[in-house]
Amino acid sequence: MNKRVAIIGIVAVLVCGAIFATAQSGTGPRAQQPPRGIEPPPPPPPPFGLPHLDRLARDLNLTEAQQAEIKSLLDAAHTTLDALMKKMDAERRQLDTATAGGQFDEAQVRALATQQSQTFAELIVEHKRLEAKLYSLLTQEQRNRFDQLRQRRRQPPPPPPPPPPPDDDGPNER
């Protein structure tokens, strides 16, 4: 049983790291521009970040009443998600401290990984709870649009453009 919990914890830490790394990669100044007339997919929100009300309002054509209800949901969720993100960060720092300088105490690392996996699970639950509440406020047409946007967000980003060719103006080595 302990091995299973430890494996789940390690997988959760790796998944969390991959999510954070993906979020950090973002789009840089050399990002590829989409062809004219084609709307690029919306950028993914930060991991477990709250959606922006103005973007939701625009993308889903929300009414004023829907915007007010969603704003109150987002405000309430902000406190919970922010606390969980801070807890994840503190647990990551504890894990870094526990393994600094090449030290490794497997029992301590497992305990910290398990702790972090539980926090990660709570983040997922809270995020999905908020998503379900938001979804319940939408009309069928808005739900269809929401599902389309979510599907586009799940698609992998396009590969980066190839690096520019080297300059031929430099000195030739012989």
Convert the pLDDT of each residue in 128-137 to its tens digit: 999 999 999 9
Q: How far is CA 125 from CA 46, 48, 80, 107, in A?
A: 16, 10, 11, 27
Q: Which of 38-42, 63-67, 124-128 has the lowest mean pLDDT?
A: 38-42
Residue owning tokens 């991959």: 18
Going from N- to C-terminal start, the domains of the chain cover 48-149
> Side chain identity at 32, as an amino acid letter?
Q
Whether the predicted model's global pTM rises above the 0.75 cut: no
CB 53 within 8 A of CB 63: no
165 has a pLDDT exceeding 80 = yes
In which band, very low, low, confident or very high, does the pLDDT at 55 lie, cut at 50, 70 and 90?
confident
48-149 folds as Four Helix Bundle (Hemerythrin (Met), subunit A) (1.20.120)
Q: How far is CA 87 from CA 11, 94, 115, 118, 158, in A?
A: 18, 10, 10, 11, 33
H/E run at residue 134: helix 106-136
